[in-house]
Amino acid sequence: MSKTDLSNDEISKIIKMYSTEIKSTHELGKRFKVGHKKISKILKSNGILLNKRGGQEKNGNSKIIEKSKINRYAPDSKNRKLVAICKKTQKKFNDINNLSGALTEHIIKTYNDPVIPLNNYQRKKIEIISGKKWFEEYFDIVEIEVENVRTCKLCGWETKDHDNKTGCFEIHIQNIHDISLDEYLSQFPDDIHYHKKFIKNKKTETDFLNDQNFVICSLCNQKMKVISNTHLKSKHNMSSREYKLRYPNEKLSSQATSLIFSKNTSIANINAVPSWSSQNEIEIKNFIEDLGFEVEKSRNRKLLNGKEIDLIIPSVRLAIEYDGLYYHTEKMGKNSSYHLNKTIECNNVGYKLIHIFEDEWVLNKNMVKNKIKHLLKINDGIKIGARKTEIKKIEFKEKSVFLDNNHLQGNDSSIISYGAYFNDILIGVMTFNDKRNMTKSIAGEFELTRYAVKQDYIVNGLASKIIKRFINDYSPKKIISFADRRWTPDGNNNLYTHMGFKLCEIIRPGYSYYNSKVDRYKRFHKFGFGKNSLKRKFPELDFSKTEKELMTELGYDRIWDCGLFKYELTISNID
């Protein structure tokens, strides 16, 4: 849950940050772990005029940001230079514009939870709004004096080429003193900082004693950590691609270097700030925060070690994925196990994960909100005891209207429907079938196909009451039912298990079809697209092809779910 009290120091910081650099109450809420409404209240009570929504960043609109150029820091004169000094370690860096990525690498190693912009757009945005580069949260850019000359300690000879960039110092000691740089530095080790290339070469010599630290260019037999494009172009007039084509079995980088690249990429990916969040994802986040829960920053990459999770609620160990339909199709890389694997991986680290498909949020927002509140154990609906309800069989039309308004899957084709009434108001529906699509029908076996309670009502014990009425009327031998794993975080602790059902099977993921040109917010059930159905609708197609190939021709792609839990209740289990 979010914090309730803030210290005077924290309140002062909030006012200062809102007035200078962070113009978003939501962003400040994340920083200080409180709801954005509390931030607004603090600002208003201190006489701070709030910006209108969408206008927080007057100079930071996308067009200005895209057209702007990133400024480069440079010293005011040749006798001075700029260095970046880490605020935590005081380590100095000459790469004050972070062109080599050295500052980013140091930040990742030094700070526990750094905020790293993902791309140039975000970096420019920070620079335009705050007037500083993003890494200045961790570094001070300081101007220092450059030494005028460097002196040879053997004879007093002077040069302005402090770092031996031209090689003149090395030439001097060879020609005048007839010694190598190695011999000079063994006498005067304090001067080694002038010779970065020498340090690098010495380290390379040591590294290359281990064959995991180098690769050999097949064209010139030179040992290198990486066979770079620069080396290939300058020495052999060849690109990396041409080299790989000629030597397909040769590696371009050493094993040790590849591991470093992989590790740094993984760390950067985990700490990277997402470039955007969809409006619907933001709506879900704001809804949960308004309920009083702290939601971690969007698109967390730490929980699953680099894999993105849209929203995380640490206090209840619940994670939420908002799955846009277009971006969660097979052609966008979301294969049959994608959603399920994330669910299982979250379970393995102690979190429950639910998936909200785009059509559910857009078309049935209130239903989804109620389901989220149920998972968060927010019971703010109208509470009625099941004993106060009257159970009746209801007609198909009444059942259909109720399910369309109160169940995410909407109406079904059930032949048996029960309604629960309170003061002549229909507040709950449960439906059954003895002829099922999922499995072949068995005498005496029924499927519980839908159960829904009227939105904003809470009726504890109602499901058990309707089940008992159904058993009295039909004397079934067994009742089975299926639960969507996207919305059932715990297969062994839920409404079914509380009614005495046993988990008997875990069914692998299934798919729906999607075509944004036909309907942007609709997943089509696969049962409507079997080959027999397609022959009636599209007789001109080549039916020697698979169903998937035919549907691809028609512009449809598949979206996979997380599979189902199958439950069964033998009647001997009911008292």
Residue-wise pLDDT tens digits, 80-98: 788 999 999 999 898 889 8
The yes-or-no verdict on residue 277 having pLDDT over 50 is yes
Residues 6 or more apart whose CB falls under 8 angstroms from that of 529 comprise 513, 547, 551, 556
| Locus of tokens 């003149």 | 168
* 290 falls within a domain: yes
Q: Give whole-number Cα distances, 129 to 123, 125, 126, in Å.
A: 10, 6, 5
Last residue of a domain, one of 463, 492, 512: 463
pLDDT score of 236: 92
* Higher pLDDT among residues 407 and 17, named by residue: 407
How far, in Å, CA of 236 to CA of 225, rounded?
A: 18
Q: Which residues contact 122 (CB under 8 A, 6 or more apart)?
A: 134, 273, 275
- Mean pLDDT value of segment 513-534: 92
For the domain that residue 327 is a member of, what is the CATH number? 3.40.960.10
Res 339 pLDDT > 90: yes
Name the pairing type of β-strands 116-117 and 139-145. unpaired
Residue pair 569/464 in contact (Cβ under 8 Å)? The answer is no
Hey, how many other C-beta atoms are within 10 angstroms of the C-beta on 321?
20
Tell me if 573 is assigned to some domain. no
Q: Would you say residue 322 lies in a domain? A: yes
Q: Predicted confidence band at 2 (pLDDT cuts at 50, 70, 90)? A: very low
Same domain, yes or no, for 280 and 330?
A: yes
Pairwise CA distance, residues 162 & 167, whole Å: 10
**294 three-state secondary structure:** coil
Model confidence over 167-210: pLDDT tens digits?
899 999 999 999 999 899 899 988 888 888 888 888 888 888 88
**Cβ burial 252-269 (10 Å sphere, 16+ → b, else e):** bbbeebbeeeeeeeebbe
Q: What is the CATH number of the domain that holds 18?
A: 1.10.10
Judged by DSSP in three states, 570 sits in strand
Annotate 102-139 with b (16+ C-beta within 10 A) or e (fewer): ebbebbbeebeebbbbbeeebbbbbbbbeeebbbbebb
Look over the chain and give the mean of its residue pLDDT values, rounded to a whole number.
86
| pLDDT per position as a tens digit, 10-45 | 888 888 788 776 777 877 887 787 888 888 888 888
Average pLDDT of the residues in 405-427: 95
The yes-or-no verdict on residue 267 having pLDDT over 60 is: no
Mean pLDDT (whole number) for 140-148 = 80
Distance CA 346, CA 359 (A): 24
In a domain, 370, yes or no: yes
Indicate whether 55 pLDDT > 60: no
pLDDT in tens, 440-489: 667 889 999 999 999 999 999 999 999 999 999 999 999 999 999 999 99
Residue 182: which H helix or E strand, with range? Answer: helix 181-187
Tell me the average pLDDT across 382-391.
96
- Considering the domain architecture, whether residues 104 and 34 belong to the same structural domain is answered as no
Share of the chain above pLDDT 70, in %: 89
3 state SS of 346: helix
Residues 343 and 433 in one domain: no
How many CA atoms does the CB half-sphere of 557 hold within 13 Å? Answer: 17
The predicted pLDDT at position 299 comes to 62
Highest-confidence segment of 154-163, 245-254, 269-278, 286-295 = 286-295
pLDDT at 260 over 70: no
Per-residue pLDDT for 1 more than 50? Answer: no
Task: Look at residue 101 and give its three-state secondary structure.
Answer: coil
Neighbours of 484 (CB within 10 A): 16
Segment 287-311 shows an average pLDDT of 83
Q: Are residues 345 and 415 in the same domain?
A: no
Q: How many domains does the chain have?
A: 4
- Do 39 and 74 share a structural domain? no
pLDDT at 276: 52
54 pLDDT above the threshold of 60:
no
131 contact partners, CB below 8 Å, separation of at least 6: none
**One domain, residues 283 and 345:** yes
- On the question of pLDDT at 57 being above 60, the answer is no
Same domain, 416 and 457: yes
pLDDT score recorded for residue 37: 82
pLDDT for 56: 44
Which has more confidence, 514 or 202?
514
Least confident of 168-182, 379-393, 429-443: 429-443
Question: Which band of pLDDT confidence, cut at 50, 70 and 90, is reported for residue 58?
Answer: very low
Main-chain dihedrals φ then ψ at residue 181, nearest 5 degrees = -60, -35
361 shares its domain with 393: no
**393 and 445 together in one domain:** yes
Of 463, 488, 507, which one is at a domain's C-terminal end? 463
Domain boundary among 112, 145, 178: 145
Residues 370, 292 share a domain: yes
Range(s) of the domain holding residue 127: 66-145
Q: What angle do CA 406, 409, 414 make, to 5 degrees?
A: 90
